[in-house]
C-alpha cells in the first residue's frame, strides 16, 4: 500500500512556495483570498495559475490587504468552505486582529507563513519574529525544514484542524528564501490518495445558514461563558497535540513519509547535549550534530515542529539528565529572552528539572547561520555551563 502510493503521484524539483501551492490544490480548498508580499508571492501566483488553467476548482479573491485576506478567509469558512491563504512579515502583522477572530470562531483555516523579518528597516530575509508575534492568538503554529515537509504538513494540518475536538486554524511556517525560493526534490502525491487521506470538509459546528438562523459572536457578559470559551480554546490546543501525533502516523501509513510529530529527534538517545531549534536552523543543526559527533561530542537535535501547541512535557522528558540544552531562537522578546528558550525554561522549571538551558538569539534578518556556526554555539554553551554563567540571552554573530 505504502509502496503503491509513493509510486503514484510524481516527483518534481520545485521551490517551497510551489510545494505549498500544490498542497492547497491537493487539499481541494474552495476559497483562496490572498494579497502578495515578498517572499510569499509565488505561492499565490502558482495558485492563480492552477485555478486559471482549470487544475484547481476554487474561488480566488484578489483582496486589497492582508487584513481583508484573513477576513475573507473567515467569511468563507463561516459558511462552511475549506479555505487557504498565505502571507509573510508585515502581512501577518496586519492580520493580527482577525487572527484572533478566526480562533474565537473556531474556524479551521489554513495558512502558509513564509517567515521574513519585520520592519523597520526593510528586510525581506528570514527571521521568525513575524510568526512568533502571533504566538498568543490561538493559531496552531508549525515550522518546517524542507519543501516536502511544507507540502505534507499543510495536508496533515487540515486534518488536525478540522477534527471536531480541535477546530482551530493553523499556520505552516517556512523560512523565507531558504525554503520558499530554493529548489528541492518533492514528491507530489496523487489527488485520489490525498482525497482518501483528507476527506471533504463538513463543519461540525455552526455555519451561517438562513434556514438555521443563529447569531455568532454577540456580546458576552462577564458571568456568561466568555472565560469558558477561552478555556475551551486552550483545551482544544492541548488535544491538538495528540491529534498531530495521530495524523503524523496516519500520514506515514498513507504516504510512507514521516517528518516527526510535535518534535523530530535526531541522535538524541545517548546525547549529553541537546540542540533545540526550528525551521532551517534545525536542518543546519542536524549537520552540526554529525560534525560534532565525528569529533567525539555526544550531541543530539530536537527540532520543534509544533511551536503551538507547545510540546513542553515532551521536551522535559528529553531534557532530563542531560548536561545542557542549547536553544536557538531566530526571534526575540525584547527585554526578556528568546521565546523558545523562555518556553523551555518554564517547562523545565514547572517539572522540577534543572537541566541548564543556554538560549541563543541569532540569525535575525537573515544573517546566515551555518552548521559550523552551530557547532561553535554548542562549544560556547558548554563553556557557559562549565563556568556556571547562565544568562537570559546569548547573542551569536552579533557584530558590535
Q: Which stretches of the chain bind another protein, using CB under 8 A?
A: 30-31, 33, 57-59, 61-65, 67-69, 71-81, 83, 97-98, 101, 104-106, 164-165, 167, 204-206, 208-210, 212-221, 224-226, 228-229, 231-232, 235-236, 239
- CA–chain centroid gap for 177, Å, is 16
Residue 19 · residue 25 · CB < 8 Å: no
CA–CA gap between residue 47 and residue 25 (Å, rounded): 7
In angstroms, what is the minimal distance from the CB of 173 to another protein? 23
Tell me the closest approach of the beta carbon of residue 34 to another protein, in angstroms: 12
| CB nearer another protein, residue 76 or residue 171 | 76
Considering the complex, what minimum distance in angstroms separates the CB of residue 191 from another protein? 18
Nearer to another protein, 35 or 307 (CB): 35
Q: Contact, 374 vs 286, CB < 8 A?
A: no
Q: Give min distance, CB of 153 to another protein, in A.
A: 24
Whether 149 and 261 have beta carbons less than 8 Å apart is answered as no
Residue 218 vs 294, nearer CB to another protein:
218
Task: Give the shortest CB-185-to-another protein separation in angstroms.
Answer: 33
Q: Which is nearer to another protein, 77 or 186 (CB)?
A: 77
Dihedral sign for Cα atoms in the order 373, 172, 299, 345: positive
Judged by beta carbon, residue 205 or residue 386, the one nearer another protein is 205
Q: Containing H/E element for 285?
A: helix 279-294
DSSP 83: B
Sheet containing strand 306-308, strands side by side: 84-87, 110-115, 170-175, 140-143, 306-308
CB of 103 to another protein, least distance (A): 11
DSSP 366: G
User: Grid coordinates 510524481 are at which residue?
Assistant: 10
Name which of 315, 265, 312, 260 is nearest 286 in CA terms: 265
Instruction: Count Cβ atoms within 10 A of the Cβ of residue 285 and give its class: 0-12 exposed, 13-18 middle, 19 or more buried.
Output: buried
Comparing CB distances to another protein, the nearer of 224 and 391 is 224
Residue (61 or 117) nearer to another protein, CB: 61
The least distance separating another protein from the CB of residue 237, rounded to whole angstroms, comes to 12
Amino acid at each position: 500500500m505504502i509502496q503503491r502510493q509513493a509510486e503514484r503521484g510524481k516527483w518534481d524539483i520545485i521551490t517551497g512556495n510551489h510545494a505549498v501551492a500544490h498542497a492547497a490544490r491537493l487539499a481541494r480548498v474552495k476559497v483562496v483570498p490572498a494579497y502578495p508580499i515578498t517572499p510569499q508571492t509565488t505561492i499565490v501566483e502558482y495558485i492563480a495559475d492552477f485555478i486559471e488553467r482549470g487544475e484547481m476548482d476554487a474561488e480566488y479573491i484578489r483582496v486589497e490587504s492582508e487584513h481583508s485576506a484573513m477576513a475573507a478567509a473567515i467569511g468563507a469558512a463561516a459558511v462552511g468552505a475549506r479555505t487557504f491563504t498565505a502571507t509573510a512579515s508585515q502581512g501577518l502583522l496586519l492580520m493580527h486582529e482577525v487572527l484572533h477572530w478566526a480562533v474565537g470562531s473556531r474556524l479551521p483555516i489554513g495558512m502558509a507563513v513564509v517567515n521574513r523579518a519585520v520592519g523597520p528597516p526593510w528586510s525581506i530575509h528570514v527571521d521568525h519574529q513575524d510568526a512568533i508575534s502571533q504566538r498568543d492568538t490561538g493559531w496552531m503554529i508549525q515550522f518546517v525544514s524542507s519543501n516536502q515537509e511544507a507540502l505534507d504538513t499543510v495536508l496533515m494540518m487540515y486534518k488536525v484542524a478540522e477534527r471536531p475536538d480541535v477546530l482551530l486554524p493553523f499556520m505552516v511556517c517556512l523560512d523565507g528564501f531558504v525554503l520558499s525560493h530554493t529548489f528541492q526534490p518533492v514528491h507530489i502525491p496523487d489527488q485520489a490518495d490525498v482525497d482518501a487521506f483528507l476527506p471533504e470538509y463538513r463543519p461540525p459546528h455552526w455555519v451561517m445558514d438562513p434556514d438555521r438562523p443563529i447569531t455568532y459572536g454577540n456580546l458576552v457578559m462577564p458571568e456568561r461563558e466568555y472565560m469558558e470559551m477561552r478555556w475551551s480554546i486552550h483545551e482544544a490546543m492541548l488535544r491538538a497535540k495528540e491529534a498531530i501525533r495521530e495524523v503524523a502516523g496516519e500520514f506515514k501509513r498513507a504516504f510512507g513519509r514521516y517528518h516527526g510529530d510535535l518534535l523530530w529527534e535526531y541522535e538524541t538517545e545517548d546525547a549529553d547535549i541537546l540542540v533545540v531549534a526550528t525551521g532551517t536552523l534545525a536542518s543546519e543543526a542536524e549537520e552540526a550534530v554529525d560534525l560534532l559527533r565525528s569529533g567525539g561530542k555526544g550531541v543530539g537535535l530536537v527540532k520543534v515542529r509544533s511551536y503551538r501547541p507547545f510540546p513542553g512535557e515532551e521536551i522535559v522528558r528529553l531534557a532530563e539528565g542531560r548536561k545542557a540544552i542549547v536553544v536557538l531562537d531566530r526571534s526575540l522578546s525584547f527585554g526578556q529572552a528568546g521565546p523558545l528558550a523562555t518556553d523551555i525554561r518554564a517547562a523545565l522549571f514547572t517539572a522540577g528539572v534543572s537541566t541548564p538551558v543556554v538560549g541563543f538569539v541569532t540569525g535575525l534578518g537573515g544573517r546566515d547561520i551555518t552548521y559550523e556556526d552551530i557547532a561553535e554555539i554548542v562549544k560556547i554553551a558548554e563553556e557557559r555551563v562549565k563556568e556556571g554563567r547562565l544568562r537570559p540571552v546569548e547573542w551569536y554573530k552579533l557584530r558590535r
